[in-house]
Amino acid sequence: MEVQKEAQRIMTLSVWKMYHSRMQRGGLRLHRSLQLSLVMRSARELYLSAKVEAHEPEVPLPPVRSPDPRLHQSREAEAVAEAAPPDGEQPSPEPMDTREAPPAEETPARCAPRPAKVSRKRRNSSLSDGGDVGLVPSKKARLEEEGEGASAEVPDRLQPPPAQAEGAFPNLARVLQRRFSGLLNCSPPAP
Amino acid sequence: MFLKFSLHSMFYGAGGGNDIQWCFSQVKGAVDDDVAEADIISTVEFNHSGELLATGDKGGRVVIFQQEQENKIQSHSRGEYNVYSTFQSHEPEFDYLKSLEIEEKINKIRWLPQKNAAQFLLSTNDKTIKLWKISERDKRPEGYNLKEEDGRYRDPTTVTTLRVPVFRPMDLMVEASPRRIFANAHTYHINSISINSDYETYLSADDLRINLWHLEITDRSFNIVDIKPANMEELTEVITAAEFHPNSCNTFVYSSSKGTIRLCDMRASALCDRHSKLFEEPEDPSNRSFFSEIISSISDVKFSHSGRYMMTRDYLSVKIWDLNMENRPVETYQVHEYLRSKLCSLYENDCIFDKFECCWNGSDSVVMTGSYNNFFRMFDRNTKRDITLEASRENNKPRTVLKPRKVCASGKRKKDEISVDSLDFNKKILHTAWHPKENIIAVATTNNLYIFQDKVN
């Protein structure tokens, strides 16, 4: 539990740092963004493995991806953290099905897997719960909208990702959203 | 008498390997605790003779100090460094297409070897490199009879004699003028520049690319390394530093954020994406931690003067590599191993991203790098002894010998030791430089430049 909390804290902190690195003079620094995304990935893996060990039914995934298109509206396509949904990209297997995401397939630059496709997978695997199959297509559609919206709408970037919070991963998503919104309104952490 | 002399030379003789006693010499910069951001020193570099010492700051300014020429036989200390020239090298710019401000901070200064009376240096910010000429003027022509006192031209009909102007001495004036501007070649932020041993070309490196320039040509450069992946989402490492070999004009190295160094030979192909040698040390599994990846990023790489070795600096250590051995460094020195257990806090306060530089002494026997709390460390490669010293105004009487410092990692703190928790992480020494020939070092704290010399008896 402590490990989980710590991992969550680091993930949130990393997202916050990434957001604020855009505000500094000189713009987004590629090396810094890469380092932050590496830490975020490690925190996520740690969180997930701690979660799996705790045998929770839902495996929450940090929807880090969703804040990213909003955060990193920079035209600079080279921003590492920008995770615009690429077409035809393979979804990375999730620890729900496998113990650990195989690092080889997962590129470090992607902080989170593609929740849309992954959520569909997870939904399918738990259909016996009587889950809402109907949610799957609508969720995908919503993500696509967000994806398009993300690349077009600059002012929206400061909004927390409410839509993404619903769906398969309410717990962590809500926690992150709550924390993240709070952080956005807060002053920077003391150096 | 003879015995005394030989004992004396044994303890204080020249050459590396003997313990040097470092003394405070000078400190430059404001005394205020309140540091103006523009005054933060961002680079320090001696020229090839060591007579000139250049610093660059966050405000885009370059300040050059010159060593006083003293009568070496009689002097008890080496000449002091005084301000020689100050000029604004770079100004803040705005990239309208990307809506980004381009910082004027000077990232690196590199001196060209002196060819004539003038001095030349390259200075760079994130995007633009400039070649500056620094020249002296100590005479001016006087005795023109074509002008009035106020500068107006006299009526030519009133000029009845021919007078040749003569050069008369004047107060020394040092002028800096930009001779070349190398711009628009880097999409990402420039982290290194390095002048080739042919003295005609130089390289500039950003996060993903390295370009080769000719000093005379500003409108184009050759791209010699490009590690940008086709899909940016697959990016896993960036270039962190690059340097030309001191003797082989076809060889250069670049370091990465993953802790690897690649040596490239420009004769092999036009685009040196395939390295000739890859230097990488396998990770010690017992040291693996959450932040392992980011602390393995190399922040600086420097060839030894001999060209046989190179030194790399990562967050916690300095490594010396033999160019003939790729699989591990020949020497590793821990700079501040006590920080390994504090990485999480250092991540929180952003210190884990600090980029420390390192440098060799003139004979390649000692290496130096900075740390926190205004400490800096030296490692003697021959005696395997190391020392920690502090750059502080408290020791600012000239020829005061610096007292070695010690950090207490855990447990009982001895007298005069400092505990890890008392270290001031805002006081960091990122930039240090060693005189190419003598035991004179320049150490930059946040906004002050300290000059230390070895004790001369």
CA B133 and chain centroid, separation = 19
List of chain B residues whose C-beta atoms are within 8 Å of the C-beta of residue A43: 290
Q: Are strands B61-67 and B52-57 parallel, antiparallel or unpaired?
A: antiparallel
Mean pLDDT over all residues of chain B?
Answer: 91
Q: What is the pLDDT of residue A108?
A: 40
Tokens 């040749």 -> residue: B164
Each residue of B198-235: pLDDT tens digit?
Answer: 999 999 999 999 999 999 999 999 999 999 999 999 99
Q: Could you give the 3-state DSSP secondary structure of residue A101?
A: coil
Is A78 within the bounds of a domain?
Answer: no
Each residue of A154-172: pLDDT tens digit?
Answer: 343 444 444 433 343 444 4
ipTM of the complex: 0.87
Phi-psi group of B102: left, alpha or beta (phi > 0 → left; psi -120 to 50 → alpha; rest → beta): beta
Is A127 within the bounds of a domain?
Answer: no
Structural domain range at position A44: 1-55
**Which residues are registered as beta bridge partners of B213?**
B202
Least confident residue range of B296-305, B381-390, B396-405: B396-405
Cβ–Cβ under 8 Å, residues B376 and B389:
yes
Alpha-carbon span B58 to A64, nearest angstrom = 33
Alpha-carbon span A32 to A55, nearest angstrom = 35
Cβ–Cβ under 8 Å, residues B109 and B123:
yes
Q: How far is B107 from chain A (nearest CA, A)?
A: 12
Q: Is the pLDDT of residue A190 over 60?
A: no
Q: Which residue of chain B comes nearest to A104, CA vs CA?
A: B234
Please state the rounded mean pLDDT for residues B157-161.
87
3-state DSSP helix/strand/coil percent for chain B, to nearest 5? 10, 40, 50
Tell me how crowded residue B334 is: count the other CB atoms within 10 A of its CB. Answer: 14
Q: Which of B238, B293, B426 sits opposite A31 (nearest CB)?
A: B238
> CA distances (Å), A46 to each of A4, A43, A49, B234, B439, in order?
7, 5, 5, 21, 49
Radius of gyration of chain B (CA): 24
Is A17 within the bounds of a domain?
Answer: yes
Q: Which of A30, A46, A75 sits opposite B98 (nearest CB)?
A: A75
> CA distances (Å), B283 to each of A38, A127, B254, B264, B391, in order?
17, 44, 20, 23, 33
Is the pTM value of this prediction over 0.80?
no
Is A15 within the bounds of a domain?
Answer: yes
Q: Could you give the 3-state DSSP secondary structure of residue B440?
A: strand
Alpha-carbon span B119 to B126, nearest angstrom = 23
Is A38 within the bounds of a domain?
Answer: yes
Is A51 within the bounds of a domain?
Answer: yes
Selection from A117, A111, A132, A100 nearest residue A176 by Cα = A111
Is A174 within the bounds of a domain?
Answer: no
Looking at the structure of chain A, the number of domains it has is 1
- Which residues of chain B have a Cβ shorter than 8 Å from any chain A Cβ? 92, 97-103, 105, 126, 187-189, 207-208, 228, 231-238, 240, 257, 290-291, 293-294, 297, 344, 347-350, 353, 426
Measured between its terminal Cα atoms, the distance across chain A in Å is 27
Q: Are strands B406-408 and B417-419 parallel, antiparallel or unpaired?
A: parallel
Is A10 within the bounds of a domain?
Answer: yes
Helix or strand run (H / E) with residue A178:
helix A170-185
Each residue of A76-131: pLDDT tens digit?
Answer: 334 334 333 333 333 333 333 333 333 333 334 444 444 334 333 333 344 444 44
Cβ–Cβ under 8 Å, residues B233 and A83:
yes
Number of residues written out for chain A: 191
Contact B233 A109 (CB under 8 A): yes
Q: Is the pLDDT of residue A147 over 70?
A: no
Alpha-carbon span A191 to B427, nearest angstrom = 12
